[in-house]
Amino acid sequence: MQSKFKVVHPGVHSLIQDNGRVGFAHLGVTTGGVADKQAYYWLNRMLQNEQNAACIEITFGGLKLHSLCEQVICLTGADMPLTINGQLQRNWCSHQVKSGDVIAVGYAKSGLRSYFGVHRGFKFEPQFGSCSTVVREQLGGLNGQALKVGDELGCDLLSTITNGEKKTTHVKCFALGVMDIPRYHQTVTIRVVLGYQYQAFEKNERDVFFNNEYLVSKQFDRMGYRLHGVQIHSNVQALKSEGICYGAIQIPPDGQPIILLNDRQTLGGYPKLGSIFSLDGDKLAQCGQGAKINFVEITAEHAKQLLIEAQSQRQSIQLKRFQPSSG
């Protein structure tokens, strides 16, 4: 018995992702990695996985898989209906599946990206320490490409047959309490750490940025989000290209902000106001065209404090045992 899942339908855009490629930006290799780290964190908690297990990031929805093994699955992130053999199942909850089961993920009702995983993660050969797919660089996942019909996703064998006797590794199912499930909104307040060339923006230009609402334009992807709203001007025209960190807010000559995310190019030459707070980046990555974005300023010290608090808070959350109704 082979332990794998087969792609029946890849959906709109489904990619193998993990925490991403860290430490290779000096070679021009981008980070990649899951766009919503919080949804990914819960996926791995629910599946009792290490925090870098390879999963599928499903954008918009539409993924259909054929299970060719016994496994435990889970879907977190955007609210996409999950069915096993046509039976609707809970999200943010792990489920047992058996060989022959058909798992379908519908289209997002709220949020944009969901995360589908299995116990111990999908098995891919890491490139530069990561299985994350970056299509532009043809790295990670399945030959650096998005999932397509017929692709096979290997995973750990949970049941083995020795001397005619079947032995199954028992994996418990867990659920995240309803109150702890993140909600995704189309109006998001993003906290910003001022940095890079923010002095190149005069006080009134910074005020424009912080006092106006920006809309996510139709140009948004894992590389970055182009926003649309009141123009912001800087005193800098072009810079020598310099490294770009996660969440950097770039202001090109048209005055419309671009927020750079996981698949950002490693170097850029536009002036930057600063960078968004990573926990808010997770929320932004769940937004699509037309979402409303407001910005507020925070200090780097405050951002650190909030991250430490968020980390200890989520660690203190207990998962609930979940008794599967099917399987």
Partner 1 sequence: MPFVILYFYIQAAEFMSQSTLNLSNYISTEIAGESALILYLTMAEYEGGNTSELIAALAKKLAAHLSSVITEVVPSYQSMLISFDLFKVDHLSLSRRIHALAAEVTLFDVDSAKEVTLPVYYHSSVGADLSRIAQQAKISIEDVIKIHQRPTYTVQAIGFAPGFSYLGDVDPKIITPRLNTPRTKVPKGAVAIANNQTAIYPQVSPGGWNIIGLCPTTLFDPNTEQPSLLSVGDKVKFLAIDKQQFIELGGKLDEYMVEDN
For residue 273, the one-letter residue type is L
User: Tokens 């032995």, residue?
Assistant: 167
**Phi, psi dihedral angles at 68 (to 5 degrees):** -115, 25
Best CA proximity match to 214, nearest among 169, 268, 272, 255: 255
Does residue 200 interact with partner 1 by CB under 8 A?
no
Give the C-alpha separation, 227 to 221, whole Å: 12
Given the complex with partner 1, which of 17 and 91 has the nearer CB atom?
Answer: 17
Task: Considering only residues 89 through 148, tell me which ones interact with partner 1, judged by CB under 8 A.
Answer: 127-128, 136-139
Beta carbons of 206 and 230 less than 8 angstroms apart: no
- Beta-sheet strand order (sheet of 4-10): 87-89, 82-84, 102-105, 63-67, 4-10, 152-154
Task: Considering only residues 7 through 36, tell me which ones interact with partner 1, judged by CB under 8 A.
Answer: 22-29
- Span interacting with partner 1, options 9-17, 112-120, 219-227, 273-281, rule CB under 8 A: 273-281
- Span interacting with partner 1, options 152-160, 194-202, 219-227, 284-292, rule CB under 8 A: 194-202
Shortest distance, position 162 Cβ to partner 1, whole Å: 36
Residues in the chain: 327
Does residue 296 interact with partner 1 by CB under 8 A?
no
Shortest distance, position 271 Cβ to partner 1, whole Å: 12
**Phi, psi dihedral angles at 208 (to 5 degrees):** -60, -45
Rg, C-alpha atoms of the chain: 21
Shortest distance, position 291 Cβ to partner 1, whole Å: 22
Beta carbons of 121 and 14 less than 8 angstroms apart: no
Does residue 273 interact with partner 1 by CB under 8 A?
no
Shortest distance, position 54 Cβ to partner 1, whole Å: 17
Shortest distance, position 304 Cβ to partner 1, whole Å: 5
Shortest distance, position 31 Cβ to partner 1, whole Å: 8
Beta carbons of 121 and 111 less than 8 angstroms apart: no
Shortest distance, position 221 Cβ to partner 1, whole Å: 16
Size of the site for partner 1 (CB under 8 A): 42
Given the complex with partner 1, which of 1 and 22 has the nearer CB atom?
Answer: 22
- Beta-carbon contacts of 153 under 8 Å, excluding residues fewer than 6 positions away, are 4, 5, 6, 7, 16, 56, 65, 122, 147
Task: Considering only residues 205 through 264, tell me which ones interact with partner 1, judged by CB under 8 A.
Answer: 240-248
User: Tokens 């309490």, residue?
Assistant: 177
Given the complex with partner 1, which of 102 and 135 has the nearer CB atom?
Answer: 135
- Span interacting with partner 1, options 37-45, 219-227, 299-307, 318-326, rule CB under 8 A: 299-307
Best CA proximity match to 180, nearest among 50, 14, 319, 4: 319
Given the complex with partner 1, which of 307 and 317 has the nearer CB atom?
Answer: 307
Residues that bind partner 1 (CB under 8 A): 22-29, 127-128, 136-139, 193-196, 240-248, 265-267, 272, 274-278, 300-301, 303-304, 307-308
